[in-house]
Amino acid sequence: MAAGDHPDKDTQGVDRRSFFKTGVLAGLGALTAASTLNRCDATASGRGPAPAQLFSVAPLKKVRIGMVGVGLQGTSHVRNFLGIPEAQITAVCDIRPERVAAAQKLITAAGHPEPRGYSRGSTDFLRLCDEEELDLVFTATPWEWHVPVCVAAMKSGKHAATEVPAAVTVDECWQLVETAEKHHKHCVMMENCCYDREELLILNLVRKGMLGEIINAEAGYLHDLRNVKFNNENEAVWRLPHSIKRDGNLYPTHGLGPVAQCMNVNRGDQFDYLVSMSSVSRGLNLYASRLYGAEDPRATQRYALGDVNTTLIRTVLGKTITLIHDTSTPRPYTRINRVQGTRGLAEKWPHRVYIEGKSEPHRWDDLADYYQEHDHPLWRELQQRAAGSGHGGMDFIECYRLIHCLLNGQPMDMDVYDAASWSCISELSERSVARRGRPMDVPDFTRGRWKNWPQLGIISA
């Protein structure tokens, strides 16, 4: 499975009917709702200032964790935390009791006390948050449950961490930001692609100034998920309904997160506005027709999601990003990850770099040639511990950094403002697509603090 994908995130047993009836999805795809439009356009109306400094809390001696959603991806994170001595999983929640039991067995087999189990339906995470003495609630559930779990965690005095994207709508993004600020809690989106080796190497080249001033980036999530959407299990249960109802960039953060860090978004620059358009929708109908027959309801279903969505983002300082979403066409996996500066550029797919005055004119260097001198410290120091963990090791590193920051009272590498800024692109792209590519302002969740917050440095383990 391609690195950076999450084919195994817990489905939480949400069927198609409950997907559309669930209250947390109110307004999903309803692009004409006046209240949502007004809030999307607002940047700071009625809100106080964000913190003057990057948020941190007092150091913890250990981190007690409640896991919500322990399907394949959630269980993978359980294994990551079992490799970090200061992380203790003391509660597990899933709609399926057998998954709770499997996670408990995995934890006790590693020599830890059995965590309490919660499996009384889709909202039993509320009982977990109310009853358990926890430092952190971690959710690996379908998209529409990320905000409800995180908000419940923070309101009950716990930090929150969520799989990607952090939210589906701009309204939900503001909810995460406001709840984190009100209750003084971390709310972290676990964007594992920010910890992939090549992305970190490129960030290191950027921080060393080797590419000059970064002025443009290209990124995306281009992954053939046709089989995943129609396999009637795991992600298919909830991902396909999104393709039926929504048209835009539905999964922006894998590609956007790493390049946003290179461009200092929220820490020296800020997304300003975007325009977005989608191609026609063909891939899912053709695939279903070939698989099930031309008259099958899955083949005749109208899918709103265009096969290829292209979103252009401009920052306040005039930098630009091209962001692509494609999960319905036959193709090899890529996140593109191209970062262009005034002295050169680097990219992951393919792995290559060109630096003016260092590379042979008009010829690429192999990105791997830069590892010996410029490999990121996180990979140098954690590579052996991360070996064998999910998505080539980056899943362990993201979990390690989350726990490390809590133990040491440090600001997170990615905070609630990043979670909101990167995730809100979904709804804004939908709105732009629906309005023939009309520009959409991106809310400033930092409310001007981006001008003074320091950039993400080159951190070590």
Reply yes or no on whether the pLDDT at 139 is more than 50: yes
Write the pLDDT tens digit of every residue in 369-381: 999 999 999 999 9
Q: What are phi and psi of 83, to 5 degrees?
A: -90, 5
Tell me if the pTM is above 0.85: yes
In this prediction, residue 12 carries a pLDDT of 35
C-alpha to C-alpha distance for 25 and 35, rounded to whole angstroms:
15
Task: Over range 274-283, report the average pLDDT.
Answer: 98
Please determine whether the domains at 16-191 and 194-382+415-451 fall in the same fold group of CATH. no
Q: Tokens 């992939």 correspond to what residue?
A: 196
pLDDT-derived band at 168 (thresholds 50, 70, 90) equals very high
**Domain residue limits, the chain:** 16-191, 194-382+415-451
pLDDT-derived band at 237 (thresholds 50, 70, 90) equals confident
Reply yes or no on whether the pLDDT at 5 is more than 50: no
Write the pLDDT tens digit of every residue in 289-315: 999 999 999 999 999 999 999 999 999
pLDDT-derived band at 233 (thresholds 50, 70, 90) equals confident
Q: Which of 88-97, 102-111, 201-210, 229-238 has the lowest mean pLDDT?
A: 229-238
Write the pLDDT tens digit of every residue in 67-84: 999 998 999 999 999 999
194-382+415-451: CATH topology? Dihydrodipicolinate Reductase; domain 2 (3.30.360)
> 8 or 249: whose pLDDT is higher?
249
In this prediction, residue 2 carries a pLDDT of 39
Residue range 16-191 forms a domain whose CATH class is alpha beta
